[in-house]
Amino acid sequence: MWYNVGMKILLTGGTGYIGSHTAVELVAAGYKEIVIFDNLSNSKELVMAKIAEISGIEPEFVEGDILDKVALKGLFKKHKFDAVMHFAGLKAVGESVEKPLQYYETNVGGTVNLLEAMRVAGCKKIIFSSSATVYGEHAEVPYSEDAPTGQGITNPYGETKHVIEEILKDVAESESGWQVVILRYFNPVGNHPSGLIGEDPNGIPNNLMPIVMKVARGEMAELLIFGDDYDTPDGSGVRDFIHVVDLAKGHVAALEKLSGLAADDSAILIYNLGTGGGRSVFEVIATYEKHAGKKLPRRVVDRRLGDIGEVYAGVEKAARELGWKTELDLDDAMRDTLKFLG
């Protein structure tokens, strides 16, 4: 099949963890006109050189904030984008409870600014980074895209993702030609097999793997395992851990889906991006330790507030409509994590 690889694509938040891996996979798939717009609040400009080292092409980098309407306007004036992949935002669940206004402002307000700049410029294709968190705590596994969303979300971060999804649906219905893909990520792990790019958050992370990495580096004393009394095979939490390279390829598949639509067709397409299976926290740790050849200091503590026992994705829709499924597993993710750790 022929795809429109001549498209010019904007990646907001493109120096971040998922955006940088997606930039690499876009270039690998032939998309060479990429512009990254990021305020570097949770990433480093050095990532640009790493993307170039891996892919042979350095996308254009613009330092800027999605809260800056003037900067966005200028960006869309300078470039005629065919599509936007919108990664920029704040993602620390715990921090969102302490700073809800900052999360609503950046995630929701920033997305509204971006959509307005797109509308004015006539760019109507957008792929949005949503999250399994929109399903709330009452959904049944495997989560299906048809399951209700927005009920029982336990933190402001998750609420922002739900609200943005609703905004995108309204925008897609507001005038013809809006083509929106909402990708609900499950638990991204691993990094590029080159070891050159990976998850390197500023500040104290919330997610399991960044914490494992901090403990491995000796920057945190021990890994706290949040509960071993869930109704799961080994008692620890079960999640759908997806290798970030597979996740990045899911974005290329979504873009190709969009480029196959007629220009004035409106669409709102929603896909889970996960492996379709759950692995436990103990399994992740054991797999990491197998590849590292040493044990991680760790201790089981009480369950974390708001956590649930088991989460994994239904993945048939993405397979059927995007022709995409994961190819890598937890062993790949842990091996690649160790390469990034160096």
Nearer Cβ to ligand NAD (78/295): 78
The nearest distance, CB 49 to ligand WQD, in angstroms, is: 27
Q: Please report whether residue 211 would count as binding ligand WQD according to CB under 6 A.
A: yes
Phi, psi of 294 (to 5 degrees): -150, 160
The nearest distance, CB 149 to ligand WQD, in angstroms, is: 12
Instruction: Figure out which of the listed residues 34, 83, 93, 153 binds ligand WQD, where binding follows CB under 6 A.
Output: 93
Query: CA 80 from chain center: how many Å?
Result: 25
Nearer Cβ to ligand NAD (185/282): 185
Binding mask 236-275 for ligand WQD (x = CB under 6 A): -x-x------------------------------------
Instruction: Figure out which of the listed residues 38, 159, 240, 256 binds ligand NAD, where binding follows CB under 6 A.
Output: 38
**Total residues belonging to the chain:** 342
Interatomic CA distance for residues 94 and 156, integer angstroms: 9
Q: Please report whether residue 159 would count as binding ligand NAD according to CB under 6 A.
A: no
The nearest distance, CB 9 to ligand NAD, in angstroms, is: 16
Q: Please report whether residue 208 would count as binding ligand WQD according to CB under 6 A.
A: yes
Instruction: Spell out the SS3 assignment of the chain.
Output: CCCCCCCEEEEECCCCHHHHHHHHHHHHCCCCEEEEEECCCCCCCHHHHHHHHHHCCCCEEEECCCCCHHHHHHHHHHCCCCEEEECCCCCCHHHHHHCHHHHHHHHHHHHHHHHHHHHHHCCCEEEEEEEHHHHCCCCCCCECCCCCCCCCCCCHHHHHHHHHHHHHHHHHHHCCCCEEEEEEECEEECCCCCCCCCCCCCCCCCCHHHHHHHHHCCCCCCEEEECCCCCCCCCCCEECEEEHHHHHHHHHHHHHHHHCCCCCCCEEEEEEECCCCCEEHHHHHHHHHHHHCCCCCEEEECCCCCCCCECCECCHHHHHHHCCCCCCCHHHHHHHHHHHHC
Instruction: Figure out which of the listed residues 10, 11, 13, 230 binds ligand NAD, where binding follows CB under 6 A.
Output: 13
159-188: contacts with ligand WQD (CB under 6 A): 187
Q: Please report whether residue 41 would count as binding ligand NAD according to CB under 6 A.
A: yes
Q: Please report whether residue 155 would count as binding ligand NAD according to CB under 6 A.
A: no
Interatomic CA distance for residues 59 and 51, integer angstroms: 8
Nearer Cβ to ligand NAD (41/266): 41
Per annotation, catalytic residue among 157, 185, 288, 312: 157
Q: Please report whether residue 206 would count as binding ligand WQD according to CB under 6 A.
A: yes
Stretch that binds ligand WQD, among 96-104, 141-149, 223-231, 319-327 (CB under 6 A): 223-231
Q: Which two tokens stand for residue 231?
A: 């109704």
Nearer Cβ to ligand NAD (16/309): 16
Q: Please report whether residue 251 would count as binding ligand NAD according to CB under 6 A.
A: no
Instruction: Figure out which of the listed residues 66, 183, 281, 330 binds ligand WQD, where binding follows CB under 6 A.
Output: 281
For the question of residue 157 being annotated catalytic, the response is yes
- Per partner kind, with CB cut-offs from 5 to 8 A, the member of ligand NAD, ligand WQD, none near residue 237 is ligand WQD
Q: Please report how many Cα atoms fall inside a 13 Å half-sphere around the Cα of residue 329, on the Cβ side.
A: 6
What is the number of the residue whose Cβ is closest to ligand NAD? 16
Which residues would be at the binding site for ligand NAD (CB under 6 A)? 13, 15-19, 38-43, 65-67, 87-91, 106, 110, 129, 131, 185, 188, 207
What positions carry a catalytic annotation? Answer: 157
